[in-house]
């Protein structure tokens, strides 16, 4: 019963967001503020003025009939506004997308045929289904994995291609040439045969647009230039002088297209192009939406925007249009014109529909060279030189992706270049996340922050390493290799403090790697501690039992970590006698006494004669009555000398030990019992060996060292035994 109930709940959790995305139009009109009606109406009218020439021009880039661009403009604006998320987004024909569609379709069907038109409609439906599915299953975050460099490279390459492809109609030359190089060669070989009236109309269109924009950038320069060019053709009857014109447009509502929706062969041929168009369309739209939201403060829903783009492309394909995307130029005009809600885009589509019926007859005199002039200027604007320079100066990986996508767009199949750019974006992301920044850090001069200080020597006992990235399966080898290599380069650093403040997640591979590090440091007689673990990382450590393996007391608080390790783990002898660095705040008040480095250890021959005693063996010698070894008399009991500092001695010591700090042994003449065996004790054995060296140099030969020092004594449970 409970299993069925859980299944129903999970099904409801999966369906509920999809229903919410699909009923967006209802929510839009139920929450619409009538105060926004006037600004939305004016913004819609303003966008419609530039939408008309753009839709026709961009359709020429896609090598489709202008009628399809008009239908796509009307339906894209209305449907995209109804189901989209951004208040200022405007959906419809787009220049780079149109070029990508042309490149994809010409590889499958010959342009200018009825099959080409059908394939364009099918591709729009496929793009719509792909984008709609992405939104409904809430995969909107995937758009973040495509580098901005791909968009800049593709847009720049597309701009160059569009300009090159428009040179022939702009000059009145016959179409021809394969690829970028082939088209340029064809133009150069036929340049002497350019058609002067056609060229004059195109050049005049460009000059007029530039002049109007300099006078007032708010004026619809492309529309004014195209109207004037049409009047010139009509008055001078240039159409009779072989100046190519658009021809009569049909003033009808967008009709339902007759598409082979279940033709698997055609679907297979169009799939790669549809995937590229869908992916680039989503990335472009998301980038535009984010740029608008940054200025308005709107909170976007990327999944809803995916649904909006999918619905728009689906409807555009079914009703005799072709695939489109969000348009930066029209969205920017929509924003500057004061659009408050997506209703502004809906109004622009309605006004476009009215214009279709009113202005369709005028298209009979609209010269193609004028549209080519508009497209050449648009293509020039697509090459963002400032952004290209910024990317070039930034990370080499981003620059390489941009150049690769740009060159691929120019000289390869465009859809392949786009998909290649997206793949390399993912590769770059994987490379960056699998090689996170990891570095050893030390406190700054004020001991308030940990920073990377390559110019300063690290603490000889404690390594502090900070990881900037997730500990997941792709990154753990890199992190482990860095720490292992660092440990090999600093063999005396037996303790490791891992700072995980910048680690958001940790998977089981990360846990396994951490376990290996802990074992390695403990095998060296040290240990590992951690700070900065967030809730998710802590839960992973708890559920995988790593916390019990490490020890809950080894996950420290940020402010107390250094002090705790310093006072409880580090060897004070090294701090006092050997370390000149004073890396931490806790080091600053340590007394600086005679350096142990000035007291040489015995050579290997001498060192071999220094005997050691195990903790349990020493305890038995100190307590013969309890051990049952039958030793009698005080002379049989060793004389234990603790050579540590008073602070350490007071924290815990062998009950029978006498405190004689190492500096006293090194710098003063001391008297020790000549008739008793002397056992030297320190924290780990390091200072005991120094003391034994000094004592043997003055003739005290009956000296032993407690193996492992107080650490071993405590580990054997003898410290507690003595206290009780």
Instruction: Give residue 10's Cα distance to chain centre.
Output: 30
At 405 the pLDDT is 86
CA–CA dist 342, 339 (Å, integer) = 8
3-state SS class at 447: coil
Q: In what order do the strands lie in the sheet with 462-468?
A: 437-440, 462-468, 495-499, 527-531
3-state SS class at 724: coil
Concatenating the DSSP letter of every residue in 531-578 gives E---HHHHHHHHHTTHHHHH-GGGB--TTTHHHHHHHHTS-HHIIIII
- Best CA proximity match to 50, nearest among 468, 474, 296, 351: 351
What tokens does 259 get? 């598409």
Just list the catalytic residues: 682
Concatenating the DSSP letter of every residue in 296-323 gives H-----HHHHHHHHHHHHHHHHHTT---
CA–CA dist 696, 287 (Å, integer) = 78
End-to-end CA distance of the chain: 59
Instruction: Give residue 548's Cα distance to chain centre.
Output: 33
- Best CA proximity match to 293, nearest among 89, 121, 483: 89
* Beta carbons within 10 angstroms of residue 445's beta carbon: 9
CA–CA dist 414, 381 (Å, integer) = 20
What tokens does 177 get? 């040439």
What tokens does 64 get? 């489709």
Backbone angles phi, psi at 617, to 5 degrees: -65, -45
pTM of the model: 0.63
CA–CA dist 521, 234 (Å, integer) = 88
Residue 372 Cα distances to 106, 201, 379, 584, angstroms = 20, 10, 10, 70
What tokens does 228 get? 């004037």
Half-sphere exposure of 391 (CA within 13 A, CB side): 22
In this predicted model, what pLDDT tens digit does every residue of 266-304 receive, in sequence order?
A: 999 999 999 989 988 888 888 788 777 867 888 888 899
* Beta carbons within 10 angstroms of residue 566's beta carbon: 20
* pLDDT, mean of each 10-residue run, the chain (724 residues): 43 63 91 93 86 87 92 96 93 90 91 94 96 88 76 84 87 79 85 89 92 86 86 89 83 91 94 91 83 79 92 97 90 84 95 86 83 85 86 87 87 76 83 90 87 89 93 92 93 92 92 94 90 93 93 90 87 75 81 52 51 90 70 67 86 89 76 85 84 81 88 81 39
Residue 459: DSSP 8-state: P
Quick one: 600-723 is in which CATH superfamily?
Rhodanese-like domain (3.40.250.10)
- In contact, 116 and 110? CB cutoff 8 Å: yes
In this predicted model, what pLDDT tens digit does every residue of 76-96 receive, in sequence order?
A: 999 999 999 999 999 999 988
CA–CA dist 132, 303 (Å, integer) = 9
Residue 679: DSSP 8-state: E
Q: Where are the domains of the chain?
A: 32-428, 437-587, 600-723
In this predicted model, what pLDDT tens digit does every residue of 327-338 receive, in sequence order?
A: 877 888 888 788
292, containing H or E segment: helix 264-296
Note the CATH architecture for domain 437-587: 2-Layer Sandwich (3.30)
Query: Cβ-count burial of 294 within 10 angstroms (0-12 exposed, 13-18 middle, 19+ buried)?
Result: exposed
Instruction: Give residue 328's Cα distance to chain centre.
Output: 24
- In contact, 94 and 325? CB cutoff 8 Å: yes
Residue 144 Cα distances to 141, 158, 406, angstroms = 6, 22, 20
Residue 521 Cα distances to 65, 223, 479, 517, angstroms = 72, 74, 15, 6
Query: Cβ-count burial of 646 within 10 angstroms (0-12 exposed, 13-18 middle, 19+ buried)?
Result: exposed
- In contact, 405 and 163? CB cutoff 8 Å: no
- Best CA proximity match to 480, nearest among 443, 510, 524, 450: 510
At 149 the pLDDT is 85
Angle at 189 between CA 183 and CA 193, to 5 degrees: 110
CA–CA dist 149, 135 (Å, integer) = 24
- Best CA proximity match to 366, nearest among 253, 194, 239: 239
Which residues are bridge partners to 116 per DSSP? none
Backbone angles phi, psi at 168, to 5 degrees: -65, -50
3-state SS class at 245: strand
- Best CA proximity match to 533, nearest among 522, 541, 524, 544: 541
Q: What is the crossing angle of helices 148-171 and 396-411, to 10°?
A: 30
CA–CA dist 303, 282 (Å, integer) = 10
């Amino acid at each position: 019963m409970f299993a069925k109930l859980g299944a129903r709940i999970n099904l409801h959790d999966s369906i509920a967001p999809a229903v919410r995305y699909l009923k967006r139009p209802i929510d839009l009109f139920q929450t619409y503020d009538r105060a926004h009606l006037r600004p939305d109406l004016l913004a819609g009218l303003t966008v419609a003025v530039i939408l008309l020439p753009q839709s026709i021009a961009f359709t020429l880039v896609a090598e489709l009939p202008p009628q399809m661009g008009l239908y796509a403009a009307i339906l894209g604006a209305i449907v995209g506004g109804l189901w989209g998320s951004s208040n200022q987004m405007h959906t419809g024909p787009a220049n780079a997308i149109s070029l990508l569609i042309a490149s994809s379709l010409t590889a499958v069907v010959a342009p200018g045929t009825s099959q080409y038109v059908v394939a364009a409609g099918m591709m729009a439906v496929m793009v719509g289904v792909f984008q709609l599915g992405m939104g409904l299953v809430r995969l909107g975050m995937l758009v973040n994995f495509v580098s901005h460099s791909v968009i800049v490279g593709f847009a720049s390459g597309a701009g160059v291609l569009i300009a090159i492809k428009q040179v022939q109609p702009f000059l009145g030359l016959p179409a021809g040439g394969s690829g970028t190089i082939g088209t340029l060669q064809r133009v150069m070989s036929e340049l002497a045969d350019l058609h002067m009236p056609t060229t004059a109309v195109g050049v005049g269109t460009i000059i007029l647009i530039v002049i109007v924009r300099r006078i007032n950038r708010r004026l619809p320069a492309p529309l004014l230039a195209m109207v004037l060019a049409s009047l010139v053709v009509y008055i001078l009857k240039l159409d009779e002088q072989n100046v190519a014109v658009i021809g009569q447009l049909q003033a009808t509502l967008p009709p339902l297209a007759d598409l082979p929706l279940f033709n698997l062969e055609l679907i297979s041929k169009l799939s790669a192009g549809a995937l590229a168009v869908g992916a680039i369309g989503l990335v472009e739209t998301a980038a535009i939406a984010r740029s608008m939201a940054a200025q308005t403060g709107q909170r976007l829903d990327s999944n809803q925007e995916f649904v909006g783009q999918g619905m728009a492309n689906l409807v555009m394909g079914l009703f005799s249009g072709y695939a489109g995307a969000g348009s930066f130029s029209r969205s920017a005009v929509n924003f500057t014109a004061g659009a408050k809600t997506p209703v502004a885009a809906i109004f622009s589509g309605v006004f476009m529909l009215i214009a279709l019926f009113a202005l369709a007859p005028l298209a009979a005199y609209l010269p193609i060279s004028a549209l080519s002039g508009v497209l050449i200027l648009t293509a020039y604007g697509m090459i963002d030189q400032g952004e290209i320079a910024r990317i070039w100066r930034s990370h080499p990986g981003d620059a390489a992706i941009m150049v690769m996508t740009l060159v691929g767009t120019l000289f390869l199949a465009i859809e392949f270049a786009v998909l290649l750019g997206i793949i390399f974006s993912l590769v770059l992301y994987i490379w960056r996340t699998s090689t996170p920044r990891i570095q050893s850090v030390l406190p700054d001069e004020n001991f308030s922050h940990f920073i990377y200080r390559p110019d300063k020597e690290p603490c000889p006992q404690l390594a502090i390493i900070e990881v900037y990235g997730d500990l997941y399966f792709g990154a753990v080898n890199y992190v482990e290799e860095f720490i292992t290599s660092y440990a090999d380069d600093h063999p005396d650093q037996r303790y490791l403090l891992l700072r995980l403040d910048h680690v958001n997640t940790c998977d089981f591979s990360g846990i396994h790697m951490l376990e290996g590090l802990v074992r390695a440091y403990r095998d060296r007689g040290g240990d590992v501690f951690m700070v900065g673990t967030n809730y998710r990382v802590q839960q992973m450590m708890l559920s995988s039992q790593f916390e019990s393996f490490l020890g809950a007391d080894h996950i420290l608080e940020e402010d107390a970590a250094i002090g705790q390790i310093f006072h409880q783990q580090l060897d004070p002898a090294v701090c006092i006698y050997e370390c000149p660095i004073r890396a931490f705040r806790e080091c600053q008040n340590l007394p600086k006494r005679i350096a142990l480095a000035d007291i040489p250890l015995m050579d290997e021959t001498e060192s071999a004669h220094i005997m050691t005693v195990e903790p349990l063996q020493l305890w038995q010698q100190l307590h013969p009555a309890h051990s049952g070894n039958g030793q009698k008399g005080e002379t049989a009991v060793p004389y234990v000398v603790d050579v540590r500092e008073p602070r350490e001695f007071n924290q815990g010591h062998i009950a029978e030990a006498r405190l004689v700090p190492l500096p006293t042994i090194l710098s003063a003449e001391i008297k020790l019992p000549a008739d008793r065996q002397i056992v030297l004790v320190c924290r780990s054995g390091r200072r005991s060996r120094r003391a034994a060296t000094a004592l043997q140099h003055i003739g005290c030969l009956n000296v032993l060292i407690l193996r492992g020092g107080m650490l071993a004594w405590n580990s054997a449970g003898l410290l507690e035994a003595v206290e009780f």
